[in-house]
């Protein structure tokens, strides 16, 4: 039978793993030339938030006797939502890129919702997880609104030869201002 301490450590370990995968997804995006201009400002902020959340989670897990879990666990099943990032960036389809980031953020929100339902989590950890979830939700909403703006604009691919966006209306610069 799993004790409360084991439940807490397992829950925190799971969230650390989620943050590691999220961080890796944003690092892939940061290294890519095909990131939509609307997402570029989010990447360093999202990476910083994942590092901060991971650090808080790791400290909490260690207080309960957990082991250091610094390395990202990479397996197809475990990081499916974020592993799609590099594939989407290679295909250069804007809506697919937004969809992958949106799915990754949605998976992160679901992981926090699951963790917050664990009865063994003490109040102060519950509060910390709630705060993290709310901060992460801001990124999720930013991506959703950016995707909606892209869908309305009709743009759908990035031209790899001149780094512009192709749409039904013609070629536009990636750095153009969007309303």
pLDDT of 1 reads 52
Please report, in angstroms and rounded to a whole number, the separation of the first and last CA atoms in the chain. 56
Q: Between residues 152 and 20, which one has the greater pLDDT?
A: 20
pLDDT band of residue 167 (cuts 50, 70, 90) is: very low
Q: Does 155 have pLDDT greater than 50?
A: yes
Q: Tell me the pLDDT of the chain averaged across its residues.
A: 77
Signed CA dihedral, 144, 82, 79, 45: sign only: negative
- The class level of CATH for 4-173 reads mainly alpha
- DSSP reduced 3-state for 137: helix
Supply 26's token pair: 């944003």
- Domain regions of the chain by residue span: 4-173
Cross-strand pairs, 167: 155, 170
Beta-bridged to residue 159, according to DSSP, are 164
The model's pLDDT over 103-133, given as tens digits with 9 standing for 90+, comes to 889 999 999 999 999 999 999 999 999 999 9
Length of the chain: 179
C-alpha pair distances (Å), 89 with each of 34, 82, 152: 6, 12, 21
């Amino acid at each position: 039978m799993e004790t409360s301490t084991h439940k807490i450590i397992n829950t925190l370990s799971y969230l650390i793993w989620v943050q590691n995968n999220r961080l890796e997804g944003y690092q892939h995006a940061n290294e890519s030339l095909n990131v939509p201009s609307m997402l570029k400002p989010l990447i360093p902020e999202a990476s910083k938030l994942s590092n901060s959340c991971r650090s808080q989670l790791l400290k909490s897990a260690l207080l309960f006797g957990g082991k250091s879990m610094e390395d990202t666990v990479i397996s197809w099943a475990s990081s499916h939502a974020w592993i799609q990032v590099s594939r989407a960036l290679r295909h250069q389809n804007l809506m697919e890129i937004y969809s992958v980031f949106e799915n990754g953020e949605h998976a992160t929100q679901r992981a926090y919702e699951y963790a917050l339902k664990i009865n063994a989590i003490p109040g102060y950890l519950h509060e910390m997880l709630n705060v993290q979830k709310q901060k992460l939700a801001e990124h999720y909403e930013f991506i959703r609104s950016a995707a909606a703006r892209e869908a309305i604009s009709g743009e759908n691919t990035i031209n790899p030869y001149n780094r512009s966006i192709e749409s039904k209306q013609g070629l536009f610069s990636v750095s153009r201002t969007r309303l």
